Amino acid sequence: MKLTRRQVVAGAAAGAVGATGIYELVDRLTGGSPKRAAAGRLYEEQHLLDGVRIVDQDGVAILVPPLHHELLTARVVADRADLRDARAELERALVGLEREYAPSPAGLGVTVAWGRPYFERLVPAAWKRHRPHDRRAGKAALVDSLRFPSDPPDTVLEANEVAILLRSDSRDHIDDAVGRLRGTKTLELTSMRRGFAGGGFDGGRSLPKKMALAAGIPGADLIPDGAELFLGFTSTQRAGMGPGAIANFETLGYVDLRGGYFRQGTHMHVSHVKEDVEAWYLNFDFRERVDTAFRPNLKVREGAQTVPQGPEDVSAEADVHRDFRASGRIGHSASIQTTSRLQQDTVAPDGTVYEKGTAIPIRADFNTLDNPFAWSVREDEVGAQPAAGVHFVVFNPSSDDFHRNRLAMDGVFPGGKIHFPPRARGQGFNAVLSTTHRQNFLVPPRRRRSFPLAEL
């Protein structure tokens, strides 16, 4: 169903009473779930989602993510003695969801991840024996998130025991999943985080712009009509996403799996980032937005939203330093690529060849109007007014691998540091982003997703 102008205005009024109900607008503003193949392959890797549509924009292949996203965080209700029963109960619910819904955007994607507090409180001995070890970093593959140089001093480093990512084109599928997971009574929710992705790939005004306008976000009028994100530019390029199993613990050889319990698992970072949309569009002209989002002096067509980021476009650390010396700026993509792209051809244990310049992280971030969360056990984490932001969800082979990428975004590279004040204008995005929460999680393989290590 399409919205009338009057209904859009009513949506803006709804924004005044909070973000929680505003996601009902997603289906109305997009005319319902997009047409996609219903079937999908169920990978052993929980973080991989089959059936993601690929479209062409300006000659660049773009992945079309599921429309609706929800991330639940929770603590475990069961004590150690009851863990096996809880495990059976949660697994029953997850298998039930798999029977009901295809593992694709048209159905439902479920990713269950576990935080360090779970392993250390409930399965400490088994965790000590089986926890993956990051050889390159010389520490556990799952460690607490850092607070990064451009993070505000009050960024909350969270300590949730569980995080469950739900992705679907259908809001109903997600609501059903939340109901069934809560029904297991094995978990006590600590927060619910909602949002949306995609929309507008087939032309016309994009979903993020429509939602920002409906929510009355300052600066919403200035968002380019086709923007995939509130801050503009297309981010889900296929070349910018790690392919296949590249983010698995075992694929690139960074991680020692110590017996292999977590083989085909990965690491997940979750953060919430507020975006000052108005500051971005009123203070940074298009040229400066390109310079700081991609690379200084990159030649692009005026107004372009999709800028190729293939292996041949990747920057090295020396390029970023050179650009900074010449312009006083670093590009967000260019700086991150120094650590997020393969520096040489790499052959995985299964024989897959990943070429130099291939992206490693697999992102699953989504736009949000949560402020910062849709619901939380803490009242101060649910703002009355919607706020533009992103729930940043990304899969990397280890915490350290994510930390390297995020530090590079701040100009801190393995080979040296660019000295600018935190959130300096020359860092582009960093000047208008503000991270409120962060946490790292471990994503077990599907066969061990429910209360991992509890059966040992």
| Main-chain phi, psi angles of 162, to 5 degrees | -140, 150
Minimum CB–partner distance for residue 361 and other proteins (Å): 31
Q: How far is CA 390 from the centre of its chain?
A: 8
The C-alpha R_g of the chain, in whole angstroms, comes to: 21
Which of the residues 201 through 240 are near other proteins (CB under 8 A)? Answer: 218-222
Binding segment toward other proteins, per CB under 8 A, in 78-86, 199-207, 260-268, 283-291: 283-291
Q: Does 12 bind other proteins (CB under 8 A)?
A: no
Residue 288 makes CB contacts below 8 A (sequence gap 6+) with: 329, 428
- Residue 287 in contact with other proteins, rule: CB under 8 A: yes
- Give 109 or 426: the residue with its C-beta nearer to other proteins: 426
Q: Single out the residue of 16, 79, 283, 417 in contact with other proteins (rule: CB under 8 A).
A: 283
Residue 284 interacting with other proteins (CB under 8 A): yes
Q: Which is nearer to other proteins, 283 or 352 (CB)?
A: 283
82 vs 278, which CB is nearer to other proteins?
Answer: 278
Distance CA 166, CA 319 (A): 38
* φ and ψ of 324, to 5 deg: -65, -40
Q: Which of residues 171-200 bind other proteins (CB under 8 A)?
A: none
Q: Does 278 bind other proteins (CB under 8 A)?
A: yes
Nearest by Cα to 223 from 245, 240, 200, 243: 200
User: What binding mask, one character per residue, do residues 311-340 give for other proteins by CB under 8 A, x or -?
Assistant: ----------------xx------------
Smallest gap from residue 423 Cβ to other proteins (A):
13
Q: Can residue 10 be called a binding residue for other proteins (CB under 8 A)?
A: no
Size of the site for other proteins (CB under 8 A): 19
Least distance (Å) between residue 324 CB and other proteins:
12
| Part of the chain binding other proteins (CB under 8 A), chosen from 52-60, 69-77, 245-253, 286-294 | 286-294
| Assigned token pair, 77 | 């209700």
For 195, half-sphere exposure in the C-beta direction (CA atoms, 13 angstrom radius) is 31
Question: Any bridge partners for residue 270, and if so which?
Answer: 393, 439
CA distance 439 to 88: 26
Residue among 429, 269, 256, 257 nearest 361 (CA):
269
Q: Give the separation between CA 421 and CA 427, rounded to whole angstroms.
A: 9
Characterize the bridge pairing of strands 156-157 and 433-443: parallel
Q: How far is the CB of 364 from other proteins (least distance, A)?
A: 31
Which residues, 6 or more positions from 127, have their beta carbon under 8 angstroms from its beta carbon? 119, 120, 453
Binding other proteins (rule: CB under 8 A), the pick from 10, 13, 16, 282 is: 282
CB of 431 to other proteins, least distance (A): 11
- Min CB(284)–other proteins separation in Å: 7
Nearest approach, Cβ of 285 to other proteins (angstroms)? Answer: 4
Nearer to other proteins, 417 or 447 (CB): 417
Q: Is 249 left (phi over 0), alpha (psi -120 to 50) or beta?
A: alpha
CB atoms within 10 A of CB 286: 14
Q: Which is nearer to other proteins, 140 or 424 (CB)?
A: 424
Q: In the structure encoding, which two tokens stand for residue 53, read together?
A: 């549509």
Q: By C-beta, is 4 or 283 nearer to other proteins?
A: 283
Map the footprint of other proteins across residues 128-157, applying CB under 8 A.
none
345 burial type by CB count under 10 A (0-12 exposed, 13-18 middle, 19+ buried): exposed
Q: Is 422 in the site for other proteins (CB under 8 A)?
A: no
Whichever of 225 and 256 has its CB closer to other proteins, that residue is: 225
Which residues here bind other proteins, judged by CB under 8 A?
218-222, 278-279, 281-288, 327-328, 425-426
